[in-house]
Amino acid sequence: MRRALKDYLNQEFRDLIQVNEQRDAGITGNFEVTIVNTGKVIHSKRRGMGHANTAQSRQAIVEQIREALGAL
């Protein structure tokens, strides 16, 4: 699921965002989406923003990215 979201975001927003995925031993891993030009973190599991594992949470990430890019 996370991989599909990462692929979608990379395809949709290309080099405007950075998607990091990090595996941690004994944990479910970390997923973070950042706006490249500003460094603004849109979503970070590590920072307590939870899993991006529902259609609603994925759509919220996409909307936040579009909003942040529109403000540039």
Please give the residue range of the domain that contains residue 34: 2-70
pTM over 0.85: no
Which CATH number goes with the domain that contains 23?
A: 3.40.30.10
Number of folded domains that form the chain:
1
Mean pLDDT by 10 residues, the chain (72 residues): 82 93 69 93 86 87 94 76
**Beta carbons of 21 and 11 less than 8 angstroms apart:** no
What burial letters (b/e) apply to 8-23, b meaning 16+ CB within 10 Å?
ebeeebeeebbbeeee
pLDDT at 19: 92
pLDDT of amino acid 49: 83
**Three-state DSSP class for 53?**
coil
